[in-house]
Amino acid sequence: MDGIESVKFVFGEEAAVVNADNKDFIVVSDLHIGAEQKLIEKGIKIYDAEKLMAERIIKISEDFNTKNLIILGDVKESIFYPDKSEQLRLKRFFYFLKDFKIQIVTGNHDAHLRELIDDVDIRDELIIDKFAFLHGHKMPSPTAMLSNYILAGHNHIMVTLEDENKGVYTQKAWLVARLNSRYAKDKYSTFNKSLKLVVFPAFNNLISGIPINEKKEKLSLFMEKLFNYKNAELYSINGVFLGSPSKIGIGKGNKKSNTFKTV
């Protein structure tokens, strides 16, 4: 299953379609349903955020003819038990997607999720074919390390870019990193030396992050230096290859490719 057709970034969306076990799966991460409540309390009018996310997933489903959905954790915003308004938003979101077969791997915001939603497969890590799906706040299992790809979220990948006019802007991005085998040997007795990590941007448009090419501290999955993110590949939401975190940024003379490069 390893190859150009294995993982497709959906053009213009923080979503991918993965072909595993002869099935297509829509994969998204970091919905943070209920995050808009903090903005609403500040007087910012936001309506139906969970419905809009569900509608985007339905559109992707229609485009790719699949109703298999995998969510890579942080489904809800509250770390602990959600208040009634967030519970309602969660129920509305899953009602809109009631015709989907949904699988969720839990994130650090997903305590009590099993108590709140029904008829959804929820687990800590999911292995399908040569793919491991996890949130990203914990180290991968030994089984996940035998996969061709680990797909994770959690880090809300973003990047800061500078254009030819010295204009600076920040945008969401995809990150694809290769395994650092030297460090993997210290943690795992066996692993796939060709393993790639694909880190998802947050699907929720209200959720941002700290640009990876500005971030000094290491990302959660990279704390043990398991994957080499400094020399990873960054892609825009529109599929443009941007470069690596160590080579792009303010004053580094960014040269963006104008071609779509898949993983």
Task: Tell me the per-residue pLDDT of 157-174, one tens digit each, with 9 for 90 and over.
Answer: 999 888 778 888 889 999
Query: Please, which pLDDT band fits residue 248 given cuts at 50, 70 and 90?
Result: confident
Q: Is residue 257 part of a domain?
A: no
Number of domains composing the chain: 1
Q: Is residue 1 part of a domain?
A: no
Tell me which residue range forms the domain holding 135: 7-243
**pLDDT higher at 102 or 45:** 102
The confidence score (pLDDT) of residue 63 equals: 97
Largest CA distance in the chain: 53
Q: Is residue 256 part of a domain?
A: no
Q: Is residue 179 part of a domain?
A: yes
Mean pLDDT of the chain: 87
Query: Please, which pLDDT band fits residue 75 given cuts at 50, 70 and 90?
Result: very high
Any idea which of 121-125, 137-141, 220-224 has the lowest mean pLDDT? 220-224
Q: What is the CA radius of gyration of the chain?
A: 18
Q: Is residue 261 part of a domain?
A: no
Q: Is residue 262 part of a domain?
A: no
Indicate whether 242 pLDDT > 50: yes
* Spatial contact of 74 and 31, defined as CB atoms under 8 Å apart: yes
* Spatial contact of 8 and 50, defined as CB atoms under 8 Å apart: no
Q: Is residue 258 part of a domain?
A: no
Task: Tell me the per-residue pLDDT of 11-53, one tens digit each, with 9 for 90 and over.
Answer: 999 999 999 999 999 999 999 998 887 776 777 777 789 999 9
For the residues 99-126, what does the mean pLDDT come to? 93
For the residues 96-118, what does the mean pLDDT come to? 93
Q: How far apart, in whole angstroms, are the C-alpha atoms of residue 53 and residue 195?
A: 31
The confidence score (pLDDT) of residue 3 equals: 45
Q: Is residue 198 part of a domain?
A: yes
Indicate whether 148 pLDDT > 60: yes
The confidence score (pLDDT) of residue 20 equals: 94
Task: Output the six-digit token pair for 37.
Answer: 């409540």
Q: How far apart, in whole angstroms, are the C-alpha atoms of residue 242 and residue 35?
A: 29
Burial per residue of 93-104, b for 16 or more beta-carbon CB atoms within 10 angstroms, e otherwise:
bbebbeebebbb
Q: What is the CATH number of the domain that holds 189?
A: 3.60.21
